[in-house]
């Protein structure tokens, strides 16, 4: 029986909050001996999620204020007005991460390069050649070959399955971290994620 705790990360590849939380989530998983599974999604509007550009101006303004606060607090580079955000599409990037994970490659390194590229390097993550360059630098030629305009059925099925599972669980925004049946929305809840993983470990080990 596999007693390893599981940390699932449901996140938008273009979410600045997912970018802020990515490295810490990975560290928390490693320290807990947990398996980290990336589950790229988009905002789940059926559960009340609202895309940023559809929100009132006051909420968009406050979003920028919070980004500035958090980038300074965390010491993570982030452009408040990135050149290629909002993205033309997130599906090629998200599905390429899924493909890398299915192939057993370092999907986290690739995903984080995409997030950093969008938010700190003014790179267009909707551009396939840009994604291939990111894949080549993080997961090699095998990974670069997984960046496609049209992904195989197994990749599309997992993307759609992620969206369906997020809706079923009541997820609306990203990132949402899942430990067991508990949801933790936002990178500012990562302390609670660490506690949940610590609590999950002995329960699973004695099952």
Domain of 178, CATH number, reads 3.40.30.10
Cα 56 to its chain centre, rounded Å, is: 25
Inter-residue contact 124 to 114 (CB < 8 Å): no
In a domain, 1, yes or no: no
pLDDT for residue 2: 58
If one counts the domains in the chain, the total is 1
Residues of the chain with pLDDT under 70: 1-2, 52, 54, 201-207
pLDDT of res. 93: 98
**Full residue range of the structural domain in which residue 107 is found:** 6-205
pTM of the model: 0.92
CB atoms within 10 A of CB 117: 21
Q: Is residue 187 part of a domain?
A: yes
Cβ atoms of residues 85 and 117 within 8 Å: no
Cα separation of 187 and 152, whole Å?
32
Q: Is residue 155 in a domain?
A: yes
**Residue 168 belongs to what H/E stretch?**
helix 153-169
Q: What pLDDT, on a 0 to 100 scale, did the predictor assign at position 201?
A: 61
Residues ≥6 apart with Cβ < 8 Å to 124: 83, 84, 88, 130
Does 53 fall in a domain? yes
Q: What percent of the chain has pLDDT over 70?
A: 95
Nearest in space to 94 (alpha carbons), one of 116, 78, 111, 112? 111
């Amino acid at each position: 029986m596999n007693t390893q705790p599981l940390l699932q990360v449901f996140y938008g590849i273009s979410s600045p909050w997912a970018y802020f939380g990515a490295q810490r989530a990975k560290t928390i998983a490693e320290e807990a001996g947990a398996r980290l599974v990336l589950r790229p999604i988009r905002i789940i509007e059926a559960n009340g999620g609202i895309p940023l550009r559809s929100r009132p101006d006051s909420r968009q303004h406050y979003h920028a204020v919070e980004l500035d606060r958090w980038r300074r607090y965390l010491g993570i580079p982030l452009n408040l007005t990135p050149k290629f955000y909002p993205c033309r599409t997130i599906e090629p990037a998200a599905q390429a991460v899924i493909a890398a994970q299915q192939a057993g490659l370092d999907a986290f390194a690739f995903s984080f390069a995409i997030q950093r590229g969008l938010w700190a390097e003014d790179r267009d993550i909707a551009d396939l050649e840009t994604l291939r360059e990111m894949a080549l630098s993080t997961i090699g030629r095998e990974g670069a070959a997984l960046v496609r305009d049209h992904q195989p059925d197994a990749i599309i099925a997992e993307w759609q399955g992620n969206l369906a599972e997020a809706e079923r669980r009541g997820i609306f925004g990203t990132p949402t971290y899942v430990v067991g049946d508990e949801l933790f929305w936002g990178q500012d809840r990562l302390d609670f994620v660490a506690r949940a993983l610590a609590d999950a470990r002995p329960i699973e080990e004695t099952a």
